[in-house]
A = this chain, B = another copy of it.
Amino acid sequence: MARRGPQGGGGAKRDRILRAAIMIFSRKGYFNSKISEIARQAGVADGTIYLYFKNKDDLLISLFEEKMGEVVADVRARVAEGGDALSRLRIFIRNHMDLLVREAGLIEVLQVELRQSNKFMKEYVPVKFLEYLDIISGILEDGQKEGIFRRDLNVTLARRAIFGALDEISLAYVLSRKRKYDPAEAAEEIYRIFAAGLKDSVPSEGGR
């Protein structure tokens, strides 16, 4: 079970391959990336990759799960430092945007390939990604208990909205080479929108 390469554990070579894959996948996308390119980038032979990964798909999945796992563990720790739900929401948002700088390649792969993957990996469930979303749910539910957020807020929907907003802004950032805005400022603006949006309510049969 869970045997995954010559040494069995997390070898340096395995990690070199994973890093190379992030680099190549993020540049060209999964389908346009060749195993031989990844091998070259990692400084190993084509065949070596198959000592550590079952096939090309497995390489992508391992990348999703392992790297995303690190990200999730990291955010959890950071968010735990926050006080009330509002400040924790802010930390979460801020952290997400900071990831763009720290882990640009990884984020780029996740953003583009995670969607695609549903189409060609029928069996795969992105566990770690769901955990990431659960962190948001947790904050929202706590906020309701604390009386900060609306009680009738649909948490499932709201967490998706928050993630979607962050994701889309990250995407725009990553794609435009111009870097039109600063991630930290963006985080603050997004925080303001949601902090106000989750808190108060607006007449349901609104404007004219």
Contact = CB atoms under 8 A, between A and B. Distances in A.
Interface of A: 27-29, 31-32, 82-87, 90, 111-112, 115-116, 118-120, 153-154, 156-158, 160-169, 171-172, 175, 180-181, 185-186, 188-202, 204, 206-208
Contacts of A154: 181, 185-186, 189
Summarize A's interface: helix, strand, loop or mixed. helix
Contacts of A204: 188, 192
Smallest CB-CB A-B distances: 6 pairs: A164-B168, A87-B207, A197-B197, A29-B119, A86-B207, A161-B165
A49 to B, nearest CB: 20
A138 to B, nearest CB: 16
A201 B27 CA distance: 39
A199 B201 contact: no
